[in-house]
Amino acid sequence: MVSTLLKSRILGYEGYDLAHAYGNEKWFGRAKKIEFINRKKIFITTKFNLSDKNIDLRKELEGSLERLGTNYVDLYLMHWPYPNNYIDAWKQMENLYKEGKARAIGVCNFQIRHLEELLKHCDVIPMVNQIEIHPLNTEKEVIQYCKEKSIQVQAYCPLGLMQDKIVKNDILNRLAVKYNKSIPQIILKWNIQNEIIPLPKSTKYKRLKQNIDIFDFELEKKEIQEIDSLNENYKIYIPEKYCKGY
């Protein structure tokens, strides 16, 4: 049976967003091996979870590399900013970066306050901040801050899990009709035109194909602003549920 990895490669996908906590590193490593995926042609991101306890990140990353069947990751991310130990974890990440085991390092779910604190202590500025962004949660201030510091923003949950509030939205539906595209395609294009890298997830070939077919149209500036204006700070992943003391 052909895996989602191979199907997505055929369609032209290069980047894969994984995490120890998602339990998908092993599956990915196995599919990569069986299907002779060329390591140099793909960009592997994985993440580690902090908790209240200190963590030995060298050991943690070694585990990920073993499961993935590779000797480096392209991007290593801290999943949540646990207040008591995210600075210490970042120091460990810097060492892994300097050794080349992680070709780039970054963070997820960092608000401006977390980034400001980190920047006071770091030698290496995070290259990426991966946060929840969709039309109902646009995170304009964090994005602006990241732009000023040259931190690339990635949008997780970019389709807002296709919840009803997204699917039934008038503005998104109007733009979908105008461009003869689906709502996911409109949202993903809105991200790209805002210089954000979206990370949509799908298990279905038809949708994978649709989600990458967004490079033959451009939204107008006022349409981008219309989507921006849908913001209501509506979060699907509630930070306090995942990160004590957030």
Ligand X SMILES: NC(=O)c1ccc[n+]([C@@H]2O[C@H](COP(=O)([O-])OP(=O)(O)OC[C@H]3O[C@@H](n4cnc5c(N)ncnc54)[C@H](OP(=O)(O)O)[C@@H]3O)[C@@H](O)[C@H]2O)c1
Catalytic residue annotation: 22
Counting every residue, how long is the chain? 246
Verify binding: residue 160, ligand X, rule CB under 6 A: yes
Q: Quick one: tokens of 229? A: 């204006």
Verify binding: residue 14, ligand X, rule CB under 6 A: no
Verify binding: residue 161, ligand X, rule CB under 6 A: yes
Contact 132, 145 (CB under 8 A): no
- Using alpha carbons, list the distances in angstroms from residue 200 to 44, 103, 113, 124, 244: 15, 23, 27, 28, 27
Verify binding: residue 158, ligand X, rule CB under 6 A: yes
Looking at the Cβ atoms of 96 and 199, the one nearer to ligand X is: 199
Burial of 88 (0-12, 13-18, 19+ CB in 10 A): middle
Looking at the Cβ atoms of 57 and 78, the one nearer to ligand X is: 78
Verify binding: residue 162, ligand X, rule CB under 6 A: yes
- Site map 89..128 versus ligand X, x via CB under 6 A: -------------------xx-------------------
Window contacting ligand X (CB under 6 A); options: 6-14, 59-67, 121-129, 207-215: 207-215
Smallest distance, Å, CB 157 to ligand X? 4
Q: Report the site for ligand X in 213-242 (rule: CB under 6 A).
A: 237
Distance CA 175, CA 182 (A): 9
Please give the order of strands across the beta sheet that includes 105-108: 15-17, 43-48, 75-78, 105-108, 128-132, 152-156, 197-198
Window contacting ligand X (CB under 6 A); options: 50-58, 95-103, 159-167, 225-233: 159-167
The number of angstroms, rounded, from the C-alpha of 73 to the middle of its chain's C-alpha atoms is 15
Verify binding: residue 7, ligand X, rule CB under 6 A: no
Looking at the Cβ atoms of 93 and 108, the one nearer to ligand X is: 108
Count, in order, helices (H) and strands (E) of the chain: 12, 7
Q: Quick one: tokens of 29? A: 């490593």
Report the residue from 26, 30, 91, 207 that binds ligand X according to the rule CB under 6 A.
207
Dihedral angle over CA of 190, 179, 226, 154, nearest 10: -10
Report the residue from 70, 92, 130, 194 that binds ligand X according to the rule CB under 6 A.
130
Looking at the Cβ atoms of 142 and 159, the one nearer to ligand X is: 159
Q: Report the site for ligand X in 18-57 (rule: CB under 6 A).
A: none
Binding site for ligand X (CB under 6 A): 17, 79, 108-109, 130, 156-162, 182, 184, 199-204, 207, 210-211, 237
